[in-house]
Every structure is written in structure tokens, then in C-alpha cells.
């Protein structure tokens, strides 16, 4: 009897130890995900801050300049998403190599990412120089298109350094050191403000170049950020041991093809999502000017909040990729679940905050014109309240997509995005807005439905893969 009791106590103690060990693993995963996510999210917010600074400076030149700036950003971002998707594949490839303790593969992943930035940059930068002609062909007025073209003549050259910086940032994050990218971005914010002001208005002895000056300032700042990242990655610990510029021109076509295979569908997904929101803006413009203004206010609020789950998404790619490189199937599942849960908690908290302040937020955007834009402010407040499901679904889908990228799973998510964004999101937005007569509210209900379906499909996909213990194939070093 005594022996039996002793055996039972031993089993209970063993079970308790196992439970504590599992809890410690989940706690450690949460800590590492937060540690990676914070600098990544702050880096994204810093880039939003630079864009906002440019818009504020250009806004002083008149509303026609603001309109031209918006058109120029539309042309630029359509091209930017292509390269952004390609260099996003650096993160899973480098993270898996880091987890597998293959430093040469980490360097190779960065190298092919920089190749992709250069190769995509040549034709897409040239396309920016034809921005005026592109916009005129799309039905925009000659004067507005000409202003946008002047802006793009300076801004278009920023594509390659911006993509290269993203690739370098992915490399730094893959080896668990994302902080330098944040430091560079924080230094770039005031530099961008000063240089943009000087080149727009002709301060400090520089010529006044208005829109062209704003574009050139952005390009010069991006070049500086890229140069700083290269120097840190090449000369500073712990990055210098990877010798990132070693054999830079050596042919590595198999890994480059792998990067295109993973990154191409990411580009396609970004373009489909970008196209959906551009189409939603066109629908809003058809309904009423106040509807378009309300939509932009609500969407900009969502974009600011989105930067945090996007940072968590980048961390999810790294953590899942590192676990996959270690061939740790349980670790990949734990990393993805922790990241998705973190994204849900953050967006739920932000959604409550937005709901409570929904009447004050539009006033921050409308400023002095708020008394004359009561209809837009009221509609924006309604959309922000309606966006409760929108915000949470948007956060979940980006984190789940990041977790799947850590497993190199990007092709099926591309199909999911086509069905969700266009088959459900746009179709239901159009039907609810014009057939059901719900107007702007109908557009947002449709967008929310599309995002919700996409988020659920991605979470299901990650659950299905990791439940089976799926791990991506590892490219030979």
C-alpha cells in the first residue's frame, strides 16, 4: 500500500513538473514574441510618421497638391507592393536558416532579397517616371496628373533603397536583433522633416522644389537608411560574422527562384488587398463626398492601429521560421498561436478604445473644417463603431499570414485572398451599398465580411498544417 502511494505521488509530481515546463515554454514564447514585435511595430509607426510629415508639409501648398499627392502615392504603392512581397520572403528563409544554425544560408537569403530589390527596381522605377502619362490614361485631369508626375519624378527613386532596407531589416530580425532598424527609423523621422521642409520651401540655401523636393527628400532619406543598415549589418556585432557582402555577385539562382516562389504570392496578396481598398474608395466617392471623407478617416485610423499587429506578424514569421529551421513542429505551432492570440488581444483593446472615442477621432482629422463637415464626422463615427469586427479581423489576418509565411506557405493564402477580398468583400460591399441601399455603411459591412472570412481561412490553414506537424523543406546550404 505504501509503495502504491509513493508511486502515485511520484506520478503526480511528474505531471506537475510537466505542466510547469509547458507553461514556461508558452511564457518564454510570449516574451520573445513581444520582444521582437515592439521594435518592429515601432519601426512601422515611424515610417507612417514620415509619410504623415510629408503630407502635412505639402498640405500647406493647397488642396490641389494634396489631391495630386494622393494620386502619386496610389501609383507608387501599386509598384511598391510588388517588391515588398518579394523581399518579405527574406524573413522566412533567413529565420529558418538561423534556426537550423546555417549562417551561410542566412547570408544567401539576404543576398537574393537584395538581388530581387535591384531587379524589380529597374522596370518599376522607370514606370514611376511615366506617372503623369499613367494617370492621364486612367482619366485624371492633366493639371493634377502633372503635379503627381512631378512628385513621382523625385519619389520614384526611393523604391530600391526602401526594399533593400526591408530586406536588411528582415535579416536583422531573423537573427533576433531588430533594434537597429528601429534606431535608424527614429533618426530618419527628424531628418526627413528637415530635408523635406528645406527642399519644398527652399530653406537653408537649398532650391524651392515644391512637390519634386518632397519626393527627392524621401528618396535621399531612404538612401541614407539603406546605407546605415548596410554599414551596421556589415561592421557591427552580432551581424558582421555573417559577412553579408561576401560573394555578393555570386550566382545563386536556385535560392533566388525559391525566393520568387515564396515572395511572388505575397506580392499578389498585397496587390489584391490594395486593390480592394482602392475600389472601396471609388465606391465611397460614388455615394457622396462626405462618405469618401468619412471612409478615409476611419481607414486611416485602422491603418495606424494596423501597424502593431503588422509588427506582430513580422515577429510571427521569424519565430515560426526559426522553429521550423530547428525542425521543431510543436514549437512552430506554439509560436503561431501565441502571435495570433497577442494580435487578437491588442486589437480587441484598441477596438474598445476607438468605440469610446469615435466622436472625437474625426475632429482630429477635420480640424477647423469640422463645423462644416458634420455629416462626414457623424458618418465617420458610425463607421468606426461598425469597424469593431473589421479591426479585429484585420489584425488576425495579418498575424496569421505572417505565421504561415514562416512555414513558406504563401500560395493557398493568395487564393484565399482572391476569394475573400473580391469574391466576398467587394461583391458584398457593392450589393449592400447600392442594391440593399445601405450606402457607406454597406461598403464597410462588406469589407468586414471579406476580412473576417480571410482571417478565419488563414487561422484554419495554420491550424491544419501545424496539427499535422508540417515543416517546410530546407534548401541545401
Domain boundaries, the chain: 30-243, 261-477
What's the pLDDT score for residue 369? 52
Sequential pLDDT tens for the chain (477 residues): 555 556 655 655 555 666 677 778 888 899 999 998 989 888 888 888 888 787 778 767 766 776 777 778 888 888 999 999 999 999 999 999 999 999 999 999 999 999 999 999 999 999 999 988 988 887 777 887 888 899 999 999 999 999 999 999 999 999 999 999 999 999 999 999 999 999 998 888 888 888 899 999 999 999 999 999 999 999 888 898 888 887 778 878 899 999 999 999 999 999 999 889 888 887 887 787 777 778 778 887 888 888 899 999 999 999 999 999 999 999 999 999 999 999 999 999 998 998 888 888 888 766 555 555 677 788 888 888 887 788 899 999 999 999 999 999 999 999 999 999 999 999 999 999 999 988 889 999 999 999 999 999 999 999 999 998 888 865 544
Helix (H) or strand (E) holding 422: none
What's the pLDDT score for residue 23? 78
Residue 249, helix vs strand vs coil:
coil
DSSP designation for 425: I
62 Rama sector, left if φ>0, alpha if ψ -120 to 50, beta otherwise: left
Distances (CA, A) of 26 to 335, 344, 363, 374: 8, 17, 42, 48
What's the pLDDT score for residue 360? 87
Give the integer Cα–Cα distance in Å for 401 and 277.
18
What's the pLDDT score for residue 453? 96
What's the pLDDT score for residue 12? 57
Which grid coordinates are listed for 296? 478615409
What's the pLDDT score for residue 476? 45
**Which residues have CB under 8 Å from 443's CB, separation 6+?**
280, 283, 284, 287, 295, 429, 432, 433
What's the pLDDT score for residue 52? 76
The reported pTM is: 0.88
What's the pLDDT score for residue 306? 87
Cell numbers 511528474 label which residue?
14
What's the pLDDT score for residue 210? 86
φ and ψ at residue 383, rounded to 5 degrees: -65, -35
Distances (CA, A) of 185 to 189, 190, 312, 349, 396: 6, 10, 18, 27, 26
Are 82 and 124 a contacting pair, CB within 8 Å?
yes
Amino acid at each position: 500500500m505504501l509503495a502504491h502511494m509513493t508511486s502515485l505521488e511520484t506520478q503526480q509530481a511528474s505531471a506537475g513538473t510537466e505542466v510547469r515546463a509547458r507553461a514556461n515554454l508558452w511564457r518564454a514564447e510570449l516574451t520573445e514574441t513581444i520582444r521582437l514585435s515592439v521594435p518592429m511595430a515601432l519601426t512601422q509607426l515611424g515610417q507612417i510618421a514620415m509619410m504623415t510629415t510629408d503630407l502635412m508639409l505639402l498640405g500647406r501648398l493647397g488642396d490641389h497638391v494634396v489631391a495630386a499627392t494622393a494620386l502619386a502615392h496610389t501609383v507608387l504603392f501599386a509598384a511598391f507592393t510588388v517588391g515588398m512581397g518579394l523581399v518579405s520572403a527574406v524573413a522566412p528563409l533567413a529565420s529558418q536558416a538561423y534556426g537550423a544554425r546555417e549562417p551561410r544560408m542566412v547570408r544567401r537569403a539576404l543576398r537574393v532579397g537584395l538581388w530581387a530589390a535591384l531587379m524589380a527596381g529597374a522596370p518599376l522605377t522607370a514606370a514611376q517616371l511615366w506617372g503623369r502619362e499613367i494617370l492621364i490614361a486612367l482619366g485624371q485631369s492633366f493639371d493634377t496628373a502633372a503635379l503627381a508626375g512631378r512628385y513621382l519624378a523625385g519619389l520614384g527613386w526611393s523604391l530600391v533603397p526602401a526594399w533593400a532596407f526591408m530586406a536588411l531589416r528582415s535579416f536583422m530580425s531573423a537573427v533576433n536583433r531588430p533594434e537597429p532598424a528601429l534606431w535608424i527609423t527614429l533618426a530618419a523621422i527628424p531628418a526627413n522633416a528637415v530635408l523635406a521642409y528645406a527642399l519644398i520651401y527652399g530653406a537653408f540655401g537649398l532650391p524651392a522644389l515644391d512637390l519634386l523636393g518632397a519626393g527627392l527628400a524621401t528618396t535621399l532619406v531612404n538612401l541614407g537608411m539603406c546605407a546605415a543598415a548596410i554599414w551596421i549589418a556589415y561592421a557591427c556585432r552580432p551581424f558582421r560574422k555573417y559577412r553579408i557582402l561576401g560573394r555578393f555577385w555570386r550566382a545563386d539562382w536556385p535560392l533566388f527562384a525559391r525566393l520568387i516562389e515564396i515572395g511572388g504570392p505575397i506580392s499578389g496578396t498585397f496587390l489584391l488587398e490594395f486593390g480592394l481598398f482602392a475600389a472601396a474608395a471609388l465606391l465611397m466617392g460614388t455615394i457622396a463626398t462626405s462618405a469618401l471623407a468619412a471612409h478615409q478617416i476611419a481607414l486611416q485610423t485602422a491603418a495606424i492601429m494596423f501597424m502593431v499587429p503588422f509588427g506582430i506578424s513580422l515577429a510571427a514569421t521569424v519565430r515560426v521560421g526559426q522553429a521550423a529551421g530547428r525542425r521543431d513542429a510543436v514549437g512552430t505551432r506554439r509560436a503561431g498561436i501565441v502571435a495570433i492570440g497577442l494580435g487578437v488581444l491588442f486589437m480587441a483593446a484598441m477596438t474598445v478604445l476607438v468605440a469610446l472615442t469615435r466622436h472625437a477621432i474625426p475632429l482630429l482629422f477635420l480640424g477647423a473644417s469640422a463645423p462644416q463637415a458634420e455629416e462626414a464626422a457623424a458618418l465617420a463615427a458610425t463607421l468606426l463603431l461598425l469597424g469593431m469586427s473589421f479591426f479585429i479581423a484585420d489584425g488576425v489576418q495579418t498575424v496569421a499570414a505572417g505565421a504561415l509565411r514562416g512555414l513558406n506557405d504563401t500560395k493557398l493564402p493568395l487564393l484565399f485572398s482572391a476569394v475573400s477580398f473580391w469574391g466576398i468583400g467587394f461583391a458584398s460591399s457593392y450589393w449592400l451599398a447600392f442594391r440593399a441601399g445601405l450606402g457607406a455603411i454597406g461598403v464597410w459591412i462588406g469589407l468586414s465580411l471579406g476580412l473576417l472570412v480571410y482571417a478565419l481561412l488563414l487561422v484554419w490553414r495554420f491550424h491544419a498544417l501545424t496539427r499535422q506537424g508540417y515543416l517546410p523543406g530546407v534548401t541545401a546550404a
